[in-house]
Structure 1
Amino acid sequence: MITTDLNIKFYTYIYKCHPHLFSSLARDGQIMGLSLRVRRRGGSGSKKEIIPVTSCSEEVEITVPSQFQCPISYELMKDPVIIASGITYDRENIEKWFESGYQTCPVTNTVLTSLEQIPNHTIRRMIQGWCGSSLGGGIERIPTPRVPVTSHQVSEICGRLSAATWRGDYAACSEMVRKLKMLGKESERNRKCVKENGAGLVLCVCLDAFSENANASILLEEIVSVLTWMLPIGSEGQTKLTTTSSFNRLVELLRNGDQNAAFVIKELLELNVAHVHALTKINGVEEAFLKSLNRDSTCVNSLTSIHHMILTNQETVSRFLELDLVNTTVEMLVDSENSVCEKALTVLNAICETKEGREKVRRNELVIPILVKKILKITEKKDLVSVMWKICKSGDGYEVEEALRLGAFKKLVVMLQVGCGEGTKEKVTELLKMMNKVMKMNGFVDRSDSSSIEFKHVKKPF
């Protein structure tokens, strides 16, 4: 029998979840060819754990030395660290202990004066040597872990970045930003440490300082990429990011296809409505967002920002309509995933708040077929129903007839039966009344095969 990783995972699962079945299989010879090791749990060695290992040799019994076991999990330590009490733990386990709110040593129960963890290189080297020796039974050697960044190291990098920003030293700023970016890539713990030690504000100051430098695009792109995992930031940092020059540069990055910039802008708009007003004052901002959508039709960040802009400043609706936002958004509804469709529908719903917007939406012949098609396919139906209700109510009756022809009546009835929000329920009821009236007047019959709606017969208006 050839032992594979799948065998190992399977028998490990059987042992942990169904120990009696595991014992039965072992007695019947079903797991021959699979070596096992017995690990003692706790210092007394009274409890043993059978663990499958990737070896086709005879069964062996390996006892993990107690000094190599984490006192919390009794597992072989991968990253041993010493805390203030002098006890060595595996870093992952002691960090979870501290994150749970404890400030004591799990073994001695003494209150710790510091939660700092110092790598125990001696124990780590001993564990690595033991794993590679015959005593370790060929257990895979644990690689040397990366030491997490400390608050002092982050503060030092931020200080050097601040000084370089003040001097206008592009090269030094680029070096410090790259260091922060690399730290963030190494681990989530590093990201948390970088964020908690004020790096977000320093980066915002640097971005603002170089925002009017035409040759600083690469530096600014790096800063924006790091900021994506530091948001939300404090009010002081927001102030630096939303100056005229900084906002202009973020919009320029967006125009050039930087999706990190799209995310940062979206986050800023959600933090404060004042940021939306500042953004709408930038020349060409609407073109930048439309260009972003045309480049990436699944860019939910851009759709969210457009939605904020339309709701906050009605003047932007006219500018977006001139740039053909309606047709762009409607095309996104055809075959995009549900999350994108739902966000696109919020934009259409906001557009329909104005008379000009409703007229533009009504003139698009794809709108009604797509809305009917999506009624039972998307989870959040509030905006879909609202768009349909607005254009049917403001139309000349053609929209109601088209919806009936495509089977909307039955789907809306199903919506009522399944249940929906009170406001949505009222709109659905009113739509059904409008359709029922047309059915009685014109003798319409709702389609029985409404589950399949084709768009091939519909001529695109663009």
Structure 2
Amino acid sequence: MALPWRSRRSSLVKNKPVKRISGVEVSIPTHFRCPISLDLMKDPVTASTGITYDRASIEAWLDMGNATCPVTNRELKQEDLIPNHSIRKMIQDWCVANRSNGIERIPTPKIPVTKAQVTDIVSEIAAASRRRDRARCGQLVAKVRSSVREGERNRGCFESNGTGRALAAAFGAFAGVSSVDGSVTRVLEEILAALTTLLPLDEEAASHVGSPESLTCLVSILKHGDLVARLNAAVVVKELLACGGARADGTADTAGLVEALVKLIKEPVLPQITKASLVAIFYLTNYSERTASRVVGMGLVPVLIETLVDAEKSMCEKALAVLDALVGCAGGREQAYGHALTTPVLVKKMFRVSDTATEFVVSALWKLCRGEEEAGDEGEGRGRCLREAQQAGAFHKLLLLLQVGCGEATKEKATALLRLLNGYKKDECIDTTDFKGLKQPLLPV
């Protein structure tokens, strides 16, 4: 007996039209519609149960954890789906016949790769890299990139069958070639381009990319590659550092790496490269105070402050993250104190970007103001940061932040900042009556 939802679906299928722009309705033939979405099928596949679905709909159904055919309720696996070229051709012919009614012809879909095909490609990449066969490896890598671009299903198939590890191993193998000439550089750049489509790196892949030889090649590409190659190198370095602190500590010692990343931030050539470099520097400086001091010595603090003036959200968040890390060391604070825009820009960005940015702003301001207090009267920026924060309206904003809520660490720093601001110049602070309505008690001085 037909289930109620199936009966209702049948009635919908019979009556569902397609409207052209002019408003004329065209009924889609029932056998051209997917039983799941009720829409015109663009990539019809027939299941082992004999029912034809649109590939996107039935794969989404199976990806949700279902293991049966929605119509017959019989067992169904993704590998049982077979492209129905006959139905697809009939649908295309129908689209062409109804072109005058505003129906566009569906494109011929490309057949997704299978697990067996991916396994063969991965094996061939491994064999070609062992032989140092640059030409064959380049062909296979290009095939991976082309297939991944065809759809998320292909990407998932390559990702789940060890392609990222194979590409990382191939990169390490060619990076270890004693004489790196133009042809080796090209295959390394091609491997990087394919690897960036299959991120994040797993532990094995990270170990290959994080080898001394691989890191040396990445630095060379960051310095001398074209825009696309430098972007891919920066993204891979960023992902490598995201894998763990121990690896980041060793990576920072790679000759020229920190300098190359800082240069890409100071002399921006592409926003995506700048963002990836900022995230990489953030990891490096967060894991090592020694690296943070090196970066400060390269003059990055003023660059970050000026970047914040008119940066868009994503860039702003990343620049704030790095600035917060750099003002954690004395040299970073001194450079920040010496820049006229530091405090006004930070206060301005407190509520104008995102919750993440707000946390970094409060943390950076707290480090700067606390640094003034700890420096005493001899500090170069003595009182300036607190005074400018008050004038820019930091007191009001911090009170509002505590009222609307924030993370525990940010709340502690905001509270400490309010105490500093409230105690620095009482005549410039808010009258106690302004605290009415706040849930928090009056902050002690």
User: Could you state the TM-score of these two structures normalised by the residue count of structure 1?
Assistant: 0.78
* Distance of 2:279 and 2:79 partners within structure 1: 41
Q: Secondary structure at the match of 2:285?
A: helix
For 2:111, the equivalent position in structure 1 comes to 147
1:13-51 alpha-carbon deviations (Å, 9 max, x no partner): xxxxxxxxxxxxxxxxxxxxxxxxxxx996689942343
Alignment of 1:30-429 (within 5 A): 47-54=14-21, 62=27, 64=29, 66-112=30-76, 115-133=79-97, 139-212=103-176, 213-215=180-182, 216-256=184-224, 257=227, 258-296=230-268, 298=271, 299-380=274-355, 381-395=358-372, 396-429=382-415
The alpha-carbon deviation at position 335 of structure 1 amounts to 1.2
* Distance of 1:393 and 1:129 partners within structure 2: 73
Distance change >3 Å, CA 410–CA 115, structure 1 → 2: same
Q: Residue 388 of structure 1 aligns to which amino acid in structure 2?
A: L
Distance change >3 Å, CA 43–CA 419, structure 1 → 2: closer
RMSD over aligned Cα, in angstroms?
2.9
Distance change >3 Å, CA 335–CA 71, structure 1 → 2: closer
The alpha-carbon deviation at position 122 of structure 1 amounts to 2.0
Q: Residue 245 of structure 1 aligns to which amino acid in structure 2?
A: E
Distance change >3 Å, CA 343–CA 172, structure 1 → 2: same
Distance change >3 Å, CA 272–CA 49, structure 1 → 2: same
The alpha-carbon deviation at position 174 of structure 1 amounts to 0.9
The alpha-carbon deviation at position 163 of structure 1 amounts to 1.9
* Distance of 2:202 and 2:149 partners within structure 1: 23
CA contact (8 A) 1:41 1:48 kept: no
User: Which shifted more, 349-358 or 313-322?
Assistant: 349-358
The alpha-carbon deviation at position 401 of structure 1 amounts to 2.3
CA contact (8 A) 1:62 1:135 kept: no
1:254-280 alpha-carbon deviations (Å, 9 max, x no partner): 234512221221112111222202211
Distance change >3 Å, CA 306–CA 79, structure 1 → 2: same
Q: Secondary structure at the match of 2:309?
A: helix
* Distance of 2:394 and 2:13 partners within structure 1: 70
1:419-450 alpha-carbon deviations (Å, 9 max, x no partner): 3334333433333333333324xx5588xxxx
* Distance of 1:367 and 1:438 partners within structure 2: 19
Q: Secondary structure at the match of 2:79?
A: coil
CA contact (8 A) 2:201 2:239 kept: no
The alpha-carbon deviation at position 207 of structure 1 amounts to 0.6
Instruction: Report which of the two structures shows the higher radius of gyration computed on alpha carbons.
Output: 1
User: Which shifted more, 387-396 or 189-198?
Assistant: 387-396
1:223-269 alpha-carbon deviations (Å, 9 max, x no partner): 21222221223322221111101122223222345122212211121
Distance change >3 Å, CA 214–CA 69, structure 1 → 2: same
Q: Residue 391 of structure 1 aligns to which amino acid in structure 2?
A: L
* Distance of 2:122 and 2:327 partners within structure 1: 47
Q: Residue 287 of structure 1 aligns to which amino acid in structure 2?
A: E
Q: Residue 343 of structure 2 aligns to which amino acid in structure 1?
A: I
User: Which shifted more, 105-114 or 324-333?
Assistant: 105-114
CA contact (8 A) 2:19 2:26 kept: no
For 1:431, the equivalent position in structure 2 comes to 417
CA contact (8 A) 1:41 1:47 kept: no
Higher helix share: 2
Distance change >3 Å, CA 402–CA 128, structure 1 → 2: closer
Distance change >3 Å, CA 108–CA 286, structure 1 → 2: same
> Would you say how many aligned residue pairs link Structure 1 and Structure 2?
402
The alpha-carbon deviation at position 339 of structure 1 amounts to 3.0
Aligned-pair identity (%): 41
Q: Secondary structure at the match of 1:146?
A: coil
Q: Secondary structure at the match of 2:361?
A: helix
CA contact (8 A) 1:62 1:137 kept: no
Q: Secondary structure at the match of 1:223?
A: helix
The alpha-carbon deviation at position 153 of structure 1 amounts to 2.0
User: Which shifted more, 354-363 or 241-250?
Assistant: 354-363
Q: Secondary structure at the match of 1:274?
A: helix
1:76-108 alpha-carbon deviations (Å, 9 max, x no partner): 322222222233222122212211222222333
Q: Secondary structure at the match of 1:115?
A: helix
* Distance of 1:333 and 1:355 partners within structure 2: 21
CA contact (8 A) 1:85 1:110 kept: yes
Distance change >3 Å, CA 328–CA 209, structure 1 → 2: same
* Distance of 1:374 and 1:111 partners within structure 2: 56
* Distance of 1:221 and 1:339 partners within structure 2: 26
Q: Secondary structure at the match of 1:89?
A: strand
CA contact (8 A) 1:132 1:138 kept: no
User: Could you state the TM-score of these two structures normalised by the residue count of structure 2?
Assistant: 0.81
CA contact (8 A) 1:84 1:115 kept: no
The alpha-carbon deviation at position 348 of structure 1 amounts to 2.1
